[in-house]
Structure 1
C-alpha cells in the first residue's frame, strides 16, 4: 500500500475567521504605517517561528494562521525560509505573494516558480509540499478569500502587478 501524503496539522496560533475582536488589528495592518510596522516585525516573527518550528508566532491569535515555508533560492540554490500567512483550501494550503503591496514579487514566489518542491512547518510538523501557481477562476476564488482581510485589500491597491497565488499540496 502506497504512503498517503501527510495532511497538514492544525495551526496552534492564528485564525481564518474574521472575528470582530481582531478587526482593529486588521484595520491597523491595512494602513501604510501598519504595513511598515508588521514588515519590520517579520524578521523577528520568522525567528520565533523558526525557534518553535512553526508552533508559535509573534503575532499570536490576532493574526491569520502562519507557516514557515522553506524554498530553494532560485539564484543561490540555498534554503530560504519565509514566514507566511495562509488559508486552507481543501487538501491544500494557499499563500499569496502580496509583499505588502510592493511593486516587486516576494523572493519566495520566484523560488517556487523555479523549484516547486518546498517544505512547510506548521505547529512543529514539517510537511514536504509541491507548489502550483494558481491561475484562472481558481486564482480569482482564492484571491477573493484573501481580500476578505482588509490588509490584503490595501496591498492590492498599492501595486499594479498581479499578486501570485500558490497552492501547496503535500507530496
Structure 2
C-alpha cells in the first residue's frame, strides 16, 4: 500500500475510533451489512503500546468472533498480528469495556466458524477471500470477567 493511502487509512481509523468512543457506539457501531462493531485495544507487537481499532464482530460461543480480512489484502491486518502475539486484549462494545482472552481458530474449527457463522451472517465477507490467496484468520475474544 502506498504511503498516502496508508496515512489516509490510519487517519480514518483514528476518527472512527474517536467518534465511536464519544457516541458510545451509537455512531460507528455498525459496519456494512449490519455487522456490529467493537473497539479492540491490543498491545503493539513491537512497541507494547496499546492500539485501538474498530472491528466488526459476530457474537459466538459467549464471545466475539473477529475476522482479519483487511478487505482482502495479501497480508493479515496488523491488529490481528498483535492479537496473536498478545493473547489478551480489551474490547469496548457500546459503552461497556471488557478484558478478553484471545484464541485464534484454526483448522476445521476455523473453517466451520467461517462457513456457519461469518458467511451465514454476512455473505459479503466471502468476497474478501476471493481477492487473495490467504485464508481470513478468525479469533474468538472471550470475556475474562
TM range (shorter): 0.7 to 0.9
Identify, as 1 or 2, the structure richer in strand: 2
The CA deviation string for residues 90-110 of structure 1, in whole angstroms up to 9 with x for no partner, is 211100000000011101111
Q: Which runs of 4+ in 1 moved over 2 A?
A: 38-47, 50-56, 58-63, 147-151
Match of 2:47 among 73, 76, 81: 76
Calculate the TM-score normalised by the size of structure 2.
0.81
Greater relative CO (CA pairs within 8 A, separation 6+): 1
Q: Is the 8 A contact 2:29 2:37 kept in 1?
A: no
Match of 1:127 among 79, 94, 98: 98
1:73 Cα deviation after fit: 0.3
Calculate the TM-score normalised by the size of structure 1.
0.70
Residues 84-163 of structure 1 aligned to structure 2 (within 5 Å): 84-144=55-115, 145-148=117-120, 149-163=122-136
Question: 1:128–1:153: structure 2 CA closer, same or farther, 3 Å change rule?
Answer: same
Question: 1:101–1:107: structure 2 CA closer, same or farther, 3 Å change rule?
Answer: same
1:58 Cα deviation after fit: 6.6
Structure 2 unmatched runs, 5+: 1-8
Structure 1 unmatched runs, 5+: 1-37
Q: How many aligned positions are there?
A: 134
Larger Rg: 1
RMSD: 2.4
SS of aligned partner of 2:141: strand
